[in-house]
Structure 1
Amino acid sequence: MTQHAVLDHQAHRDLRVRVEPGEALGDAVMSCVTVPIEFRQVQAHFPILFHRNAESGAFHAVALFGFEAGENLFLESGRWDALYRPLALSIQPFLIGRSADGEGPAQVHIDMAHPRTGDETGVRLFDDDGAMSPYLEDVADRLGKLDAGYRASEAFFAAMRRLDLLEPFTLEVELNDGAKRSLVGFHILNEDKVRALDGETLGNLHVEGHLMPMFMALASLSHLTDLVARKNRRHG
C-alpha cells in the first residue's frame, strides 16, 4: 500500500530517508523500469529487455536483476554489486506527480508508506532553514531525467513498432545443479531485422535519437550469461 504526499519543506522538515541498498528497503526486485536515455549506463551491467502491456499493447524497458520474482542478484549482503543503479530504483521513495490533465509544473512526491521513509537513521531531506539537502537535490535531478526519459520513450517505442523490430523472447536457464528456470513474457530487438535496415532508415533513426539506445539494448544481452553465473553462485 502506498501513501503519496507532495514533498513540503515545512511538513517534512525533519523527515529522513534511508539511502543504502537493502532487501527490506525495496531493492528485492527481479527488474526495474529503465528508459532509453540511460541505456548506455544500464547496458554496462544489466540485460535490457522489453515488456508489453497485455491490455494497452504499450511497451516499456526493464533492467533485469534476476530470474524470479523478488530475486535481485546484485544485492550482496546489503551492498549493491554494480557501479550503476537504474534511475527508477535509485529515486525511491520519491516520484514525479502531475495534475490529472498533465498541465502545470511537476511536483516531487514521496511515498510515506515506503520502507525507506521515516527512519531516524536516514538522511535528512531539508536543513534547519528548510533548504534542500544535497541528497534531495540529487534526487530531484534524477527525477527530472527519469521524467524526461519516460516522455521521450514513447517516440522510441513507436519507431520500434513501426519497423517491427521487437520479438518475443524466452530463455531457459539450466543451473549447475540441474535446476531449471524459465524467463518468459519479455521481448528483445530482432538483431537480424536491425542488420537488414537500409541506410536511409538507419539515418532517420540516428537523427531521431533512437539508434544508440537500440545498439545499447542489443549489447546488453551479453549480460544474460553473467546473470546466469551470478545465479549459480547464489544458488550454490
Structure 2
Amino acid sequence: MPSHEILTVDAHRDLRVRTDRAPELGDDMMMALAVPSEFRKLQLDYPILFRLDLERENFTAVALFGFEAGENLFVADGRWDAGYRPLSVDIQPFLIGGRQNGFAARQIHIDMASPRIDRGEEGVRVFGQDGLATPYLERISAQLGELDAGYQDYGGFFEALRRHELIEPLTLDVKLDDGSANRLVGFHAIDEDRLRSLDAEALGELHLSGYLLPIFMAVASIGNFARLIARKKRRLLYG
C-alpha cells in the first residue's frame, strides 16, 4: 500500500531514489496519465487517447505504452526507450499534496512504499549533505508544478471537446504475425471528421483557449499506433 509523507530535509536527508527503469520499479504499466500541455512532446512517441470514468462522468488523457495490462513496450535493459516520459511517470515516487496545516502552497509528498526508494547507496540523493535540494529534486519540483498546472486545466479542455463533440469511441484490433490478437477497447480519440467541419468561430475559440494545439497533437499521435505495433512484434520475436 502507498505510504505518503510530506518531504522534509529533517525526515529525508539521506533519502535516495532509483531512476533506472524496470518493471519491478513500477514501470510495468500499459499507460500513464497525461496533461494537454505535454501533448506536443508525447505525440513524438506515444498514441494519446482518452478514457471515460463512468462513475465521475469525466475524461482523462493517457499516453499508451502497450496493448495489455502490465505491458510497457518502451522499457528494456534498465532504460526507457523514448525521448520523453510523461510527467506522471517521471515524477514518481513524488506527488503534490494538498494545501494543509496553514501552508498556502502545495507541498511535495513522497511515497515511501515505492520500489524506487533506494535502501542502499546507488540511488540519486534528494538532499545534499548541506540539506539543500539536489538538482534532481529541483527538477522534480518543477515537473510537479507543471503537472499540477496541467491538471488544473483538465476540466476546461475536456469541456471544450465535449461542447464541440470532438470525442469519439475508439476500438483497435491488433493482429500479430503469430496469429494472436489484442483488442483495444474502452478508449476515445479526437473525431477528425468533426474537427474538420468546425467553423472559423469554433476554431478561433479553441485557439484562444490554448486547446487547439493539443487537439492537433492528439490527432497526430494516432500515427504512433503503427510504431507501437512494431515494438510489440519485436518484443514477441526477440524478447
TM-score > 0.5 by shorter chain? yes
SS at match of 1:10: helix
**Would you say 1:64 and 2:72 are equivalent positions?**
no
Is 2:122 the counterpart of 1:112? no
72-81 or 199-208: bigger deviation? 72-81
* SS of residue matched to 2:71: coil
TM-score, normalising length: structure 2: 0.96
Cα distance between partner residues in 2 of 1:107 and 1:158: 28
How many angstroms apart in 2 are the aligned matches of 1:199 and 1:90?
38
Amino acid at match of 1:38: E
* 1:82-101 paired onto structure 2 within 5 Å: 82-99=82-99
Give the match for residue 134 of structure 2.
Answer: 133
Runs of 4+ in structure 1 deviating by more than 4 angstroms, as ranges, are none
Distance 1:46 1:184 in 2: 17
How do residues 140-159 of structure 1 correspond to structure 2 at under 5 angstroms? 140-159=141-160
DSSP 3-state at the match of 1:113: coil
- Relative to the length of structure 1, the TM-score reads 0.97
1:30 — aligned with what? 30
Deviation at 1:100, TM superposition (A): 6.9
Contact 1:160 1:166 in 2 (8 A): yes
The aligned counterpart of 1:48 is 48
**Cα distance in structure 2, aligned partners of 1:141 and 1:26:** 22
Q: How far off its partner does 1:20 sit?
A: 1.1
Structure 1 range deviating more: 33-42 or 103-112? 103-112
The percent identity for this pair of structures is 53
Residue segments in structure 2 that go unaligned for 5+ positions in a row: none
CA distance in 1, matches of 2:100, 2:205: 34
Contact 1:49 1:61 in 2 (8 A): yes
- For 2:53 and 2:119, locate their aligned partners in 1 and report how far apart those are by CA, in whole Å: 35
For residue 163 of structure 1, report the CA deviation from its aligned partner.
1.1
Structure 1: unaligned runs, 5 residues or longer: none
